Structure 1
Amino acid sequence: MMNCCGLVTKEKQPVPLKSIGVEVQVKSHVATVTSTLQYVNEEERHLEALFVFPLPADAAVCHFSAKIGDQEIVAEVQNRQTARDEYDDAVSSGQQAFLLEESKESSDVFRLSVGCLSPGQNADITITYITELSVQADHSLRFCLPAVLNPRYTPAGSDAGIVSEILSCDSVPYTLTLSVHVSSPNPISKLESNCTLDPLVFLNSDHTQATVNLSSGHKFDKDVELFLYYQNTHQPTAIVEAGVTTAKPGSLMSDPVVMISLYPEFPEEVMSSLATQGEFVFVIDRSGSMASMMHNGEGAQIRIESAKETLLLLLKSLPMGCYFNIYGFGSDFESFFPQSVVYNQDTMDQALNKVNEMRADMGGTEILQPLKHIYSQPCYPEHPIQLFVFTDGEVGNTKEVLDLVKLHAHSHRCFSFGIGEGASTALITGMAKEGSGHAQFITGTDRMQPKVMESLRFALQPAVNKISVQWKVPDGITVDTLSPPINVLFQGQRSLIYAQLKGQSSESSEGSVIVQYNLKDQPVTNQLHFCLKPTEDTGLSVHRLAARSLIRCLEQEERTGGVDVEDIRRRMVEISVEAGVSSVHTAFIAINKDNREAVKGPLIQRRVPTQRMCMPNRSMRNMDDYDCYRMCMPNRSMRNMDDDVCNRRSAPNRSRDRTNRNCRKPMMNCYMPMMNMPMPMMANACAKSDLHDDPLLQLISLQKASGCWELNDALARVFGKTEDELTNQKPAQVDGSVWATLLSLIWLYGYKIQQQIEWQFVAMKAASWIGSQNVVSLSQCVCDGNHLLGCQVKEETLGI
């Protein structure tokens, strides 16, 4: 396979990263991940290795060390610029130095610089981070070890410089080992993965502790996903973690910190009647990358085709009388209608015709402009906006997008979907968090439709408002909340609260947190009691996650122009250094001061390739010039690198004089290997719509906006019958549309029950429509329908 990103030298010299070993410690819904990267300089000159890699967006990096021979150097957190200067000074003077930095533009991307490795020398780099595990629709907890890092599309005129300098379509040349230890207060039901695992081994009789390893021979060419299933997953919990006795009194690390996990359960009468109002806006990525496959396995679907099928389901599932519109975006954007229109048969048909014509032909990935346009449109009273955004997440201005979503959070809810391996977790989870919605990732062999329909159920839930959090603690103790205010609650979804407990009390050792909110204008109260005595052996994970949460809040204040930006920045650095966690204004720096060896000539730089999803059939017509340039350039122009990298590239004889930091000198002329690729058959494949090859999709495509079906030959073919067979078996007193709709419901429940989450709203509309028709002898009609279709569906199952 062709190396489309050219990330090795022309001489095809090997990269220095040889292996990655990962240990994961999962406690309840928090994972501590320790990765050890082994570098070997097999060349005859001194070497500098650069490795840009993905991490979960909300991960708190809390440890960084380097082991050279028997000597281990533990990094410390410093002001970012100070750390960079120390790194440059150390390397230029012949010392070994290691620098770990978070991207300024996207919190899910880090860059590791390994400086001044001597010929034949080994270096083991250890990075530890803590992250919360997200709750999935099936109530599992998802852990993801990112392997794939897609290029982040940087809009023209942007100075964002981060990640795409080191990507490869070939299999990565380093190995991966992974071991996982799980412990939970609740029994572990099972553990599943998208990769092959050794058998799960339980360590005790009550199944609250277990270990599992990744099977040997794994190729680290895709994200490693683990899904943990606990009994009583939705049980609210509270963990109180003791502070550090040696920390500065009154500081975050000195006091106990509590982490509250809440799972609101709404009354059944509320959940049984989903909303029928709203303005639904679907925003679909139509950049060239959407012409690639969902995954590399057999039977994979093209991303844009999966998105089109999903739009069919969404359009058929909308309630009558709501408003909707569909946007496509790439380098530019377009909408199906000038503004959102009322959902009815005519507008639905127009939209479906345009969905069939959609292609991945709009160039780059600039999501900011369509969002600005959507937010500029007038709102419809009593129809809150429900925004659904689908993208493979290749953008470079992530934080600007998140700020825009947050600015308009009062007027809408945002549901985001990351498509395929390598989607930016910072973008996808950030949009949902700032937009009071829900994020989903469609990876591996996942089908897009079930996850999207789960989010539609959230969107149709009544909005929760007037959310307030109150604490009840003994006298002498005060509570400082460290996490942002809760602005969204969904049925069965987890909400996390971090708080610092200050002071002491000789009274009761119990506290409580009370969450109050309005649901359909009715007040609801949830209360959780917890013990104030700190939990043992938590490894400061709660403190570090709380610090990360507080740093993220301060970053938001900084970007929105707080009262004193410099004071906010100083506070961020202070918390980052105190807690020992990463931030955008700090970096981890480690220097081997015992090693001082004269270096002759410039260091050779080796960029370690990170796996990216390949697009061997991607047409150059589907990319704009910049996108093509970004995909193909082996050694990217300095204009898209941070100043420190530019400085180190263009000043081989490093000097303490840093006046050249703003240079823009390219390292090497680019070439365009993809320009010589044969024109693929992708365009012809896309021209033929195969939306309705699946009988389920065929049936759904025939449903009317009102929820009914017509009795015709197309419907009969779905059932494997003729139109005459359907007509001849129709009870005399029943209308043709009623009979067709009843048969469709019976067929869905009889043959497609495993995919119910995909057609649940289609069925609800159909049952509601039948209920409005005053059908005579419904029981007999159901009996006749079962006989005709060979089913045994009970009348009460249909929900009529």
Structure 2
Amino acid sequence: MGCGLVSCQKEPVPLKGIDVEVEVRDHVATVTSTLQYENKEESPIEAVFVFPLPGDAAVCHFSARIGQSEVVAEVKEKQEAREEYDDALSSGKQAFLLEESEQSPDVFSMSVGSLPPGESASIRLQYVIELAVEADDGLRFCLPAVLNPRYQPRGVGGSTPPQVTSVPASLVPYSLSFTARVTSPRPISKVESNCSLDPMQYLNIEQTQATVRLGDGHKFDRDVELLVYYKDAHQPAAIVEAGKDSAQPGSLMGDPVIMLSLYPEFPEAVMSSLASCGEFLFLVDRSGSMGNGRIGSARDTLLLLLKSLPMGCYFNIFGFGSDYDQLFPASVEYSQTTVDEALEKVKTMSADLGGTEILKPLKHIYKQPCVLNQPRQLFVFTDGEVENTKEVLELVRSNASSHRCFTFGIGDGASSALITGMAKQGGGHAQFVTGTERLQPKVMQSLRFALQPAVVDISVSWDLPKGVYVTPLSPPITTLFHGQRSLIYAQLTGENSGASEGRVTVKYSLAGQPSENKLGFGLKTKDTGLTVHRLGAWTLIRSLELEQREGEQKQQDEAVKKRMVKLSIQSGVSSAFTAFIAINKESGEAVRGPLLRRNVPVPTNMMVDGKRTSWGPPRRCKASSQGPPRCCKASSSKQLYYMREVFNSNSDSPGRGELVAAQAIDPLLQVITLQKATGFWTIVPELTTVLGKTQEELDKAKPLPVTEDVWATVLALIWLHGFKMEAQDEWQLVAMKAVSWVCAQKVGCMTECVEAGNTLLGCKVQKEDLGL
């Protein structure tokens, strides 16, 4: 049979191609995906496609074009939509159903029903999403392409998860085209990607509009990530969007909705003195899917974290898979002895604990009593492939008052709903690491956030003209970090008496001191296609969903659920309790006999026969002539790291042993490993090797009044500043600890010592640059 493309199950695949258009406006994106289906078989079919979307995507449009006719889907209560879909198919009509997984909001199922032989259909799906802010102020957009099988914990009941048909990423039988248009009030500096891009094209002289396109020959072997950089990215902003003319005034879609983008700035005095206390708990995924270099990256990162923790804090390390373990029976005080013991354990850590059951270790951690006067900070490292996402988020939310939760999604296919959800519910920050991108800089940004004093007593007050009232759509702000964006959505009701401006004030207490940030905004409404309304509706729906899941009384649960369904239908935004349903009432005769079901395969990067099916090349980018892209600043240590990752991904590769051994002499990690817990270095052969000098050369150059430990520490600091500035984010806290130790030694000839170190190492680092 000439049925065209086939899956690995030897079944024909009716999905031929996906075309994605992304419209980025400042820090919000509208994504339109068009899926082309064609039935080349001799019988009518039903095509079912289970695929990933970002966990915080607000799906707001679903339609189908068959021949010359277009059918636009409606949002209906989920069970009602399913029944309509089944009834339509049994009566011979074409029907299209789109629904969100009840287990995790980042997995959707699309059913294309009763596609006759020779028929084609074009399915259009649209969603809006906020772009996350990265460590280097880039705005991150990710189009998930990879859907790894989600691990279902033993003994967990509930609704049946959608059936996922997976193939190795290199064998996906349909194509992807991808274009993005970026528009901003501020100039666009550059756009980067983990995939090959055609050069960015500016569309105006001001460089506030640009387009980028995915290069030819893209394979579905990784998620497509864009990083958009603006000049002056930290400017607070407000958008007041006009309501829908046909909607009733007073309703969410009928009234104007405001989106405020705030970047709180904390006093310099507070930021210069990071906390020297805290209980730091590191929860590391050691399931089988963390193999192939991911666990190696986690090991290197734990080493860096342990060396960067302040004296006086407490810490512990947990590993989890089908079961979990912990390094110490309870959190221990940070000292040379406990750090050495932890590092020995970290060196032997491997992906050997089976499945991904994160709920059990979290419950265990939350049962442990907190250390007095040591704020608890939880760092979670996972590739995030679990079925019970919503149960995990409920647990984190219910314990949010006792800790902050920082999460790291490792690898393509990590569940964005789990990673971002845990951080949001735990008052922390989420980061994603894909391909061969280094985890360390992102982790160190989160550690700096964790060392910032917790902001408490946060309140938001509005100053609006007479006759205008505000209804918040966002949950109350529970977390603020210096320079990190906070978004607030609110509905504006009533008649404006003529005033053109409003003001919002965010008040909070920081390190015992009252502080506030103010933002004025114009009240003139803009027509921006209801994007802000839909994001506001989605935000409110997700807040209500958590409220509903926490509700103790069934009656209260039902009331909240009804409100969510009503809001979802009114706004046209998907929810866990609704689905999009479209029926082509003009379509053919009743189908005789069962439809042939065709599961459209989705790419996976999971293990097949014990080996991972694909591994992407190093992060590449071709996007802008404005400054070198961050991935092009690879140091020798980064190249070594990449070699280690690639060769670890194939245990049969020749030379693997040599490269794994080579990883041990990654110079930056080597220097950091050699630092003592209190912050100083000693003269040891490993340090002299990294410095490229002999013991005799070091002894000869040392100023006489200076002790060996001070000399070694100054040399290490000069080496970091002189040779590793591109990785400063990774060693900054290590260096701060070293500087504090040197200053405490009260060395009288520090200028002479730094000059001698510069001469020895061939550097020109100023004493002031070192912080001495």
Fold shared by both chains (TM-score > 0.5): yes
1:681 shift after superposition: 8.8
What stretches of structure 1 move > 3 A for 4+ residues in a row? 7-10, 614-620, 678-682, 684-691
Please give the alpha-carbon distance, in whole angstroms, between the structure 2 residues aligned to 1:187 and 1:526.
25
What does the per-residue CA deviation read over 1:466-509, in whole Å, with 9 as the maximum and x for residues that have no partner?
A: 10000000111110000011010111110000000010121412
Partner residue of 1:214?
214
506-515 or 551-560, larger mean C-alpha shift? 506-515
Partner residue of 1:618?
610
Taking structure 1 as the reference length, what is the TM-score of the superposition? 0.89
Partner residue of 1:642?
none
Q: Is the 8 A contact 1:171 1:221 kept in 2?
A: no
- Aligned residues: CA RMSD: 1.8
Partner residue of 1:331?
322
Partner residue of 2:103?
105
Q: Is the 8 A contact 1:356 1:689 kept in 2?
A: no
Q: Is the 8 A contact 2:178 2:214 kept in 1?
A: yes
1:722 maps to which of 694, 699, 704: 694
Partner residue of 1:547?
537
What amino acid does structure 2 have at the position aligned with 1:321?
Answer: G
Please give the alpha-carbon distance, in whole angstroms, between the structure 1 residues aligned to 2:198 and 2:651.
43
What does 1:286-435 align with in structure 2 at a 5 Å threshold?
286-292=286-292, 302-435=293-426
Partner residue of 1:43?
41
Q: Is the 8 A contact 2:7 2:173 kept in 1?
A: no
Q: Is the 8 A contact 1:40 1:121 kept in 2?
A: yes
Partner residue of 1:265?
265
Look up the SS of the partner of 1:123 in the other structure.
Answer: strand
Partner residue of 1:115?
113
Q: Is the 8 A contact 2:164 2:602 kept in 1?
A: no
1:744 maps to which of 716, 731, 736: 716
Partner residue of 2:625?
none
Q: Do structure 1's residue 493 and structure 2's residue 498 form an aligned pair?
A: no
Look up the SS of the partner of 1:475 in the other structure.
Answer: coil
What does the per-residue CA deviation read over 1:566-603, in whole Å, with 9 as the maximum and x for residues that have no partner?
A: 11010000000000010000000001111132322211
What amino acid does structure 1 have at the position aligned with 2:676?
Answer: K
Q: Is the 8 A contact 2:148 2:606 kept in 1?
A: no
What amino acid does structure 2 have at the position aligned with 1:461?
Answer: Q
182-191 or 94-103, larger mean C-alpha shift? 182-191
Partner residue of 1:579?
571
Please give the alpha-carbon distance, in whole angstroms, between the structure 1 residues aligned to 2:66 and 2:692.
69
Look up the SS of the partner of 1:600 in the other structure.
Answer: coil
Look up the SS of the partner of 2:587 in the other structure.
Answer: coil
Partner residue of 1:85?
83
Look up the SS of the partner of 1:571 in the other structure.
Answer: helix
Please give the alpha-carbon distance, in whole angstroms, between the structure 2 residues aligned to 1:439 and 1:81.
34
What amino acid does structure 2 have at the position aligned with 1:715?
Answer: L
The change in CA–CA distance for 1:679 and 1:241 in structure 2 (over 3 A counts) is closer
Q: Is the 8 A contact 2:289 2:606 kept in 1?
A: no
Q: Do structure 1's residue 243 and structure 2's residue 215 form an aligned pair?
A: no
1:619 shift after superposition: 6.9
Look up the SS of the partner of 2:406 in the other structure.
Answer: strand
Q: Do structure 1's residue 608 and structure 2's residue 610 form an aligned pair?
A: no
Please give the alpha-carbon distance, in whole angstroms, between the structure 2 residues aligned to 1:562 and 1:189.
50
Partner residue of 1:295?
none
Q: Is the 8 A contact 2:8 2:167 kept in 1?
A: no
Partner residue of 1:296?
none
Please give the alpha-carbon distance, in whole angstroms, between the structure 1 residues aligned to 2:233 and 2:686.
44
What does 1:462-541 align with in structure 2 at a 5 Å threshold?
462-536=453-527, 538-541=528-531
What does the per-residue CA deviation read over 1:239-273, in whole Å, with 9 as the maximum and x for residues that have no partner?
A: 00111122133211111110000001111111111
What does the per-residue CA deviation read over 1:356-403, in whole Å, with 9 as the maximum and x for residues that have no partner?
A: 111100000000011111111111121011100000001110011011
What amino acid does structure 1 have at the position aligned with 2:671?
Answer: L
What amino acid does structure 2 have at the position aligned with 1:589?
Answer: I
Please give the alpha-carbon distance, in whole angstroms, between the structure 2 residues aligned to 1:278 and 1:93.
64
Partner residue of 2:164?
165
What amino acid does structure 1 have at the position aligned with 2:593?
Answer: G
Please give the alpha-carbon distance, in whole angstroms, between the structure 2 residues aligned to 1:74 and 1:244.
18
Q: Is the 8 A contact 1:20 1:37 kept in 2?
A: yes
Alignment length (residue pairs):
725
Please give the alpha-carbon distance, in whole angstroms, between the structure 1 residues aligned to 2:208 and 2:70.
35
Please give the alpha-carbon distance, in whole angstroms, between the structure 2 residues aligned to 1:265 and 1:435.
22
Please give the alpha-carbon distance, in whole angstroms, between the structure 2 residues aligned to 1:767 and 1:166.
55
Q: Do structure 1's residue 597 and structure 2's residue 596 form an aligned pair?
A: no
What amino acid does structure 1 have at the position aligned with 2:762?
Answer: G
What does 1:433-444 align with in structure 2 at a 5 Å threshold?
433-444=424-435
Partner residue of 1:659?
none
Identity of aligned residues (%): 61
Q: Do structure 1's residue 225 and structure 2's residue 217 form an aligned pair?
A: no
1:14 shift after superposition: 2.5
Taking structure 2 as the reference length, what is the TM-score of the superposition? 0.92
Please give the alpha-carbon distance, in whole angstroms, between the structure 1 residues aligned to 2:702 and 2:713.
12
1:165 shift after superposition: 1.9
Please give the alpha-carbon distance, in whole angstroms, between the structure 1 residues aligned to 2:109 and 2:138.
31
What does the per-residue CA deviation read over 1:309-328, in whole Å, with 9 as the maximum and x for residues that have no partner?
A: 00110000000110000000
The answer for unaligned runs of 5 or more in structure 2 is 1-5, 613-649
Look up the SS of the partner of 2:460 in the other structure.
Answer: strand
What amino acid does structure 2 have at the position aligned with 1:50?
Answer: V
1:199 shift after superposition: 2.0
Partner residue of 2:633?
none
Q: Do structure 1's residue 73 and structure 2's residue 63 form an aligned pair?
A: no
1:151 maps to which of 149, 152, 163: 149
Partner residue of 2:644?
none
What amino acid does structure 2 have at the position aligned with 1:596?
Answer: G
What does the per-residue CA deviation read over 1:651-693, in whole Å, with 9 as the maximum and x for residues that have no partner?
A: xxxxxxxxxxxxxxxxxxxxxxxxxxx99799x9799776632
Q: Is the 8 A contact 1:242 1:534 kept in 2?
A: yes
Please give the alpha-carbon distance, in whole angstroms, between the structure 2 residues aligned to 1:714 and 1:310.
20
The change in CA–CA distance for 1:386 and 1:617 in structure 2 (over 3 A counts) is farther
Look up the SS of the partner of 1:453 in the other structure.
Answer: helix
What amino acid does structure 2 have at the position aligned with 1:194?
Answer: N
1:161 shift after superposition: 3.1
Q: Is the 8 A contact 2:64 2:72 kept in 1?
A: yes
Look up the SS of the partner of 2:607 in the other structure.
Answer: coil
What amino acid does structure 1 have at the position aligned with 2:88?
Answer: A
Partner residue of 2:20?
22
Q: Do structure 1's residue 565 and structure 2's residue 557 form an aligned pair?
A: yes
What does the per-residue CA deviation read over 1:675-733, in whole Å, with 9 as the maximum and x for residues that have no partner?
A: xxx99799x97997766320111111111000001112221111122222212222111
The change in CA–CA distance for 1:758 and 1:105 in structure 2 (over 3 A counts) is same
Look up the SS of the partner of 1:165 in the other structure.
Answer: coil
1:615 shift after superposition: 3.2
Please give the alpha-carbon distance, in whole angstroms, between the structure 1 residues aligned to 2:172 and 2:401.
44
Partner residue of 1:775?
747
558-567 or 57-66, larger mean C-alpha shift? 558-567
Look up the SS of the partner of 2:244 in the other structure.
Answer: coil
What does the per-residue CA deviation read over 1:616-640, in whole Å, with 9 as the maximum and x for residues that have no partner?
A: 57379xxxxxxxxxxxxxxxxxxxx
Please give the alpha-carbon distance, in whole angstroms, between the structure 2 residues aligned to 1:110 and 1:250.
32
Q: Is the 8 A contact 1:142 1:226 kept in 2?
A: yes
